[in-house]
């Protein structure tokens, strides 16, 4: 079974899609897919699908949804020998004491592959190999096909899963940009960072990276305008001032501090603030 949650929900059994169109069975499958190869309790499934107001027949209804999902899996398995699945679809969507488990049978999960590539990129950064880190982070980010679970009407648990995945994506995006800045790619980053800062106007890490890219591109005044714009937005939206790291970066830009130059960014941790 191959699973994709980094975008529209994708669950393929033996190469055949098994995602139902109905909203509630789709939620059940999405939560099982996000926690593939792990037990998902009946209580968790009920909370996701019905929240705090489950119907009286909730146990029976949930079992009906599980049967529907097994029917989709059985159709995908039909006509293909699967000696390692003696119970057919029940060996894939497994009933366990207290809940259910979606057995991938060693298949792929895009979120797991994203995590694997992210860890490899972090190791490359720690070793000072920024080119390898940038390339690996790019590979990880290319796994995304859109917002996580974009075609699922998420309940509280799936919303938390999607939010966690999005935070991971933003973190890796920031690390990839950091690696590219260390490689002297500031000119080509300005446009990308300007778009990201418009999309995430309160994200101080991205704003700091835009300031550095602008400064290194010979646009010191625009870098300072970026800081002033962030300060205004923070004050209006949250009643806050920029962080000490951002204020230190503004001072460095005003003073044309040598550490802002490419040669001064070689040591890890010099790009402020941390993303």
Comparing 7-16, 145-154, 234-243, 254-263, the range with the smallest average pLDDT is 254-263
Q: Rounded CA gap, 182 and 164, in Å? A: 27
pLDDT of residue 262: 76
Residue 4 φ then ψ, to 5°: -130, 125
The domain spans of the chain are 2-102, 185-275
Residue range 2-102 forms a domain whose CATH class is mainly alpha
Q: Rounded CA gap, 123 and 170, in Å? A: 18
Instruction: Specify the DSSP element, H or E, that contains 2.
Output: strand 2-4
- Whether the per-residue pLDDT at 102 is higher than 90: the answer is yes
Read off the pLDDT of residues 38-67 as tens digits, 9 standing for 90 and up. Answer: 999 999 999 999 998 899 999 999 999 999
Contacts 24+ apart (CB under 8 A), 75-84: 75/16, 75/18, 76/12, 76/13, 76/14, 76/15, 76/16, 76/17, 76/18, 77/13, 77/14, 80/14, 82/14
**How crowded is residue 168: how many other Cβ atoms within 10 Å of its Cβ?**
17
Please state the pTM of the whole predicted model.
Answer: 0.90
Domain 185-275 has CATH 1.25.40.10: yes
Q: What share of the chain is helix, strand, coil (3-state, %, to 5)?
A: 60, 5, 30
Gyration radius of the chain over CA positions? 23
Q: Rounded CA gap, 227 and 223, in Å? A: 7
Read off the pLDDT of residues 215-270 as tens digits, 9 standing for 90 and up. Answer: 999 999 999 999 999 999 999 999 999 999 999 999 999 999 998 987 545 433 44
Same fold, 2-102 and 185-275: no
């Amino acid at each position: 079974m191959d699973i994709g949650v980094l975008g529209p929900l994708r669950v393929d059994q033996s190469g055949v899609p098994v995602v139902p169109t109905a909203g509630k069975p789709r939620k059940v499958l999405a939560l099982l897919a996000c926690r593939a190869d792990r037990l998902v309790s009946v209580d968790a499934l009920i909370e996701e699908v019905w929240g705090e107001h489950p119907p009286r027949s909730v146990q029976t209804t949930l079992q009906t949804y599980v049967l529907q999902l097994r029917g989709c899996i059985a159709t995908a398995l039909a006509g293909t020998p699967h000696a390692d699945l003696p119970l057919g679809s029940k060996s894939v969507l497994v009933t366990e004491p207290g809940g259910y488990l979606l057995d991938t049978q060693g298949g792929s999960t895009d979120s797991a592959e994203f995590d694997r590539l992210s860890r490899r990129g972090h190791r490359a950064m720690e070793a000072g190999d920024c080119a390898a880190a940038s390339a690996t982070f790019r590979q990880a980010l290319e796994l995304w096909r859109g917002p996580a679970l974009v075609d699922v009407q998420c309940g509280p648990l799936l919303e938390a899963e999607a939010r966690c995945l999005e935070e991971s994506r933003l973190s890796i995006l920031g690390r990839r940009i950091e690696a590219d800045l260390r490689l002297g790619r500031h000119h080509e980053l300005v446009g990308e960072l300007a778009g990201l800062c418009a999309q995430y106007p309160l994200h101080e890490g991205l704003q700091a990276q835009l300031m550095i890219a602008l400064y290194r591109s010979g646009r010191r005044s625009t870098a300072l305008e970026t800081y002033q714009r962030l300060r205004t937005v923070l004050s209006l939206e949250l009643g806050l001032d920029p962080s000490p790291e951002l204020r230190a970066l503004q001072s460095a830009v005003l003073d044309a501090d040598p550490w802002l130059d490419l040669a001064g960014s070689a040591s890890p941790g010099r790009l402020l603030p941390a993303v």
